[in-house]
Amino acid sequence: MKNAQSALLLSNRIKILFLFISLFFCARAQINPIKTVVIDAGHGGKDPGCHGGYSNEKEVCLSMALKLGAMIKEKYPTIKVVYTREKDVFVELLERANIANRVKADLFICIHANAGSNAAYGSETYVLGLHRTEAQQKVMERENAIIELEEDKGAKYKNFDMSPEAIIAMQLQGAVYRDYSIRFADQLQKEFKKMGRFDRGVKEAGFYVLYKTAMPSVLIETGFLTNPSEEKLLASANGQIEMAQAMFKAFERYYIQISGTETMEVVKIKSSKEDILPDHPGNKNEPIKEQQDALGLIFKIQIETSDKKIPLNSSRFKNLDIYEYYQDGLFKYCTGEFKSDLQGARQRKIELIEQGFNNAFVAAFLNGERISIEKAIKLAENKTD
C-alpha cells in the first residue's frame, strides 16, 4: 500500500513538473496566424437547447454566430469563416469538432446560452478542463446531454476518457492550444464586462464539443435565457448585435496578440465568485458624440441601444434627461451624470431597473470618450486616495 502511494505521489510530481515545463515553452510558442475561424452555433434542429419565456437557445445562438461571422468577414476578408451550421439543422457534437479539424481551423468559437434560476445572470467562457464547482458541472452535463439525440444515442462517446487523469494528460499534450484558448476566453470576458454584462469568468469543464478540437477552442455561455432581462437582451436584434460586437472585439484583441504586435499576459482560470480580470495596457476607445462636453471622469447609466436614431423626447425614455452617443454602428442612450461617483451611479441604475429599464448598466466616460468600467474604477479610486 505504501509503495502504491509513493508511486502515485511520484507520478503526480512528474505531471506537475511536465506541466510547468510545457507552460514555460508554450508561453514562448507562437500559434500560426489566423487564416480560418470556425463558428459553432450551439444546438439546432430537433435540439432546441434551453428555453426562455418566448425564445430558445438554438435560434439566438445561430443569430449571434452569423452576425459574428459577418463582422469578421467584413474586417478581415482574407480570413476564412466556416460555420458548423448556417440554418436550423441538427449537427452532432463530434461532427462540429470534425468540421473544425477538417478545415484546419486556427480558432473554434462555440456559442451557447445558459439556463438556471430566473435570477441567474451574466456571461462566462469555458475552455476544456476539469470542472471545479457543481454549477460548472451542471453546465457541462446540460450541454453534453444532447448526445442522447444522436442516432447512436451517444455510443461513440463511450470511448472518450473524460476522467480527471485523462483531462490533465490532454491539457499537458495540448498545452499551447489551452494557453491560447484561455487568452481568447479572457478577451471575451473583458469585452462582455465592458458592455455592462456581469462577468462570470473564464472557467473550464469537460465539454465533448471541445474534446476533439485540435486548435484553440472556447465555449461561450452568453447569458441566461431563463432570466427575463437576459432573455430580452439575447432574443432582441439589438442585443444580439451588441453581443456579437463584443465577441468580435475580443477576436480583434486576440488577433493582435497572436500576430506578435502585443505582449501577452498570463491569465488565470476563474474558480470562485471573485473576478479575475488582468489589466490590459493600451486599450483604445472610439470617441463619442454627446449633447454636452464631458469633462473628467463621469459615470452615466446606459438604458438603450438602437441601430436607428431615437428622438430624445421619445416616450420610451419616460421624460428622463437623455444623452446620446454613437459607437460601433449603434446609437446609445444614457441618463444621469455622476462625476467620479460610481456608487451613486450604481444606485441610480438599480432605480432605473425598477422603473422598467431592465438592461440598464453603468457606463464610464473620460473627457468625452467611453472607457472601460475597470479603468474608470481605478481612476475613481486614485482620485479618492
Give the H or E element holding residue 219: strand 217-224
Residue 281 clears pLDDT 80, i.e. is over it = no
pLDDT of residue 65: 97
Q: CATH second-level architecture of 297-384?
A: 2-Layer Sandwich (3.30)
pLDDT of residue 257: 82
- Comparing 22-26, 219-223, 246-250, 295-299, the range with the smallest average pLDDT is 22-26
Residue 131 clears pLDDT 70, i.e. is over it = no
Residue 2 clears pLDDT 70, i.e. is over it = no
Quick one: average pLDDT of 321-331? 85
- Comparing 139-153, 186-200, 291-305, the range with the smallest average pLDDT is 139-153
Residue 383 clears pLDDT 80, i.e. is over it = no
pLDDT of residue 151: 66
The residues, any chain, with a CB within 8 Å of residue 21's CB and separated by 6 or more, are none
pLDDT of residue 173: 47
Residues 35-54: tens digit of each pLDDT = 999 999 999 999 999 999 99
Name the grid cell of 237: 436584434
Residue 1 clears pLDDT 70, i.e. is over it = no
Contact of 60 with 40, CB cutoff 8 Å: no
The residues, any chain, with a CB within 8 Å of residue 223's CB and separated by 6 or more, are 113, 114, 121, 122, 123, 197, 230, 233, 234, 243
pLDDT-derived band at 350 (thresholds 50, 70, 90) equals confident
281-to-186, 278, 284, 367, 372 alpha-carbon distances in Å: 14, 10, 9, 19, 12
Average pLDDT value over all residues in the chain: 77
Residues 159-196: tens digit of each pLDDT = 555 555 555 555 454 466 888 899 999 999 999 999 99
pLDDT of residue 24: 46
Helix, strand, coil content of the chain in percent (nearest 5)? 45, 20, 35
pLDDT of residue 370: 85
pLDDT of residue 185: 95
Residue 276 clears pLDDT 60, i.e. is over it = no
Give φ, ψ of 333 to 5 degrees.
Answer: -125, 125
Domain extent listing, the chain:
19-261, 297-384
Residue 73 clears pLDDT 50, i.e. is over it = yes
Residue 261 clears pLDDT 60, i.e. is over it = no
pLDDT of residue 285: 36
Q: How far apart are CA 74 and CA 76, in angstroms?
A: 6
pLDDT of residue 239: 94
Q: CATH second-level architecture of 19-261?
A: 3-Layer(aba) Sandwich (3.40)
Residue 263 clears pLDDT 70, i.e. is over it = no
Name the grid cell of 241: 448585435
Name the grid cell of 60: 439566438
pLDDT of residue 122: 94
Neighbours of 370 (CB within 10 A): 23
